Structure 1
Amino acid sequence: MIEIGKYNDLRIVAKNSDGLSLSDGDREILLPYADVPKGIEIGDNINVFVFVNKDGNTIATTKEAFAEVESFAFLRVVDATDDGAYLDLGIGKDVYVPSREQKRMMEIGESYAVYLYLDESNGRMLASSRLDKFIEEEDFEFDEGDEVALMISERTDLGYNAIINNKYIGLLYHNELFANLQPGDYRKGWVKKVRVEGKIDLTLQPTGFGHILETRDVILKELKESGGKIALGDKSTPDEIYDRFQISKSAFKKAIGGLYKYRLITISDYEIKILVDEFAD
């Protein structure tokens, strides 16, 4: 079955004056010539994004869509009226957000976290910034400590809300962040805690002693490849440490503290150095 608002792998079955006819075996749709890649022939399979155009016709495109239906995305407003707003999807067909589906009135040029879905009455794509309507709040498919995929959705007084695995929502707290975040960023994260009421606390750092041991190995390897010293130390800023190792200052200090304890490095305010004798051939 051809799925509107998603990518479909279809077979080219014919040519006509407007483009190529694509089929899933039961239904045919048009791929306009403007979107036909070079070297494609009848009988070939092609991966296309399918949508309903303004005339109500189901159309395919080879342009890359920024998101599919049944997913969360961060999209820019290209037009707005009293009735709704239009978001750029990257395919020449904008996604409509009715006013009733806007958490706050959308402004041209601004970007918002939204959920894409199909209008059941006509098959057209719609979007909503009322994310809570589409978030699952139970039957979590992860445990505390698991790695998850995050999309930063909005800044709050406590931190940043983030969509988890395109399904749930959690919070990254301001006082635990060591990297600059912006709504729309995609990050790898970890589940820090699932609260009794179903709220999910997130972190951008893996937790546990195993991570510290792994970080020690990374720092030692980097020292060896950098001539035995790195311009980071006890008083280096969290941003400087994150730029080099993508870890928090706390994790960095625990790792170099362990290396120092075993007399593998020396530490100063703004530099760590390998103890050459320990690694001499």
Structure 2
Amino acid sequence: MTTMQMGTIQLMTVLRKSDQGYILQKGKTEAFLSEQETTRKLLNGDKVDVFVYMDKQDQIVATMNLPQMVMGTYGWASVVKVVPNLGVFVHIGSSIEVLVSVDDLPIVEAVWPDVGDKLYVTLGQDKKGRLLAIPASEEQLRDEWEIADSVKLNDRVSGYVYLTSKEGSAMLTERGNRAFIHHTEREREPRLGEYVNGRVIDVKEDGTLNVSLLPFKHERIADDAEAILTYLKQRGGVMVFHDKSSPESIQETFHMSKSAFKRAMGRLMKQRQIIQEDGYTKLIDK
């Protein structure tokens, strides 16, 4: 039984060469170092810094490719694989991939991280001593926050989402600011670890931000109007949708609210691109 802490960097001594690598030793603990995990040739008696962990066969192994975080420290890790009902695997800067368990991910798989997303994690262990990556909590991230003292309303910000909920999402911006995205300020719920771009809608007294992922109102109206025009052109310039159409049918067809639909229709009529008559909306032939 080893007393060596897995998931840490240890200074170990080369005990002997084996067919496929080296046997390292520290105290009474031995670890296998594959040749593929070395960064230089080693001789018996050499002392090397290695990252030690338990492999799938419950053997202690080592690598000279040191990770970006160890037990007790945090760092950003890229998602490299998603396994339904199990979790996601992240790259921690070493040659190994570490599991983020389903227990530490959102209940709804639709907002699980995808390949390429990034999580702010530390290392932990399962009951068998094998490595796990554990996402940082809101409390643990507080030490990383920077006071947003130079950020202004409508400034553009980008960063990674570290918290998801029905109420909203929280992100850490590239400047290190904590930003909250209320559920009314997004078209969909971002994934945990997703990189998002938004604009500042409030700078709070505690130095954190409120951010919207939605475009400005005039930009939204322009986008909605373009969607309506595209729909009309695809149907020969005539559609059955108009100001009196049901909110449900508008949402199902155009993926916008009825109020947004009416604003876009109003713009198009003011620009004399469409006309409504006899229960139909028609393109004006110019």
Relative to the length of structure 1, the TM-score reads: 0.50
Relative to the length of structure 2, the TM-score reads: 0.49
Larger Rg: 2
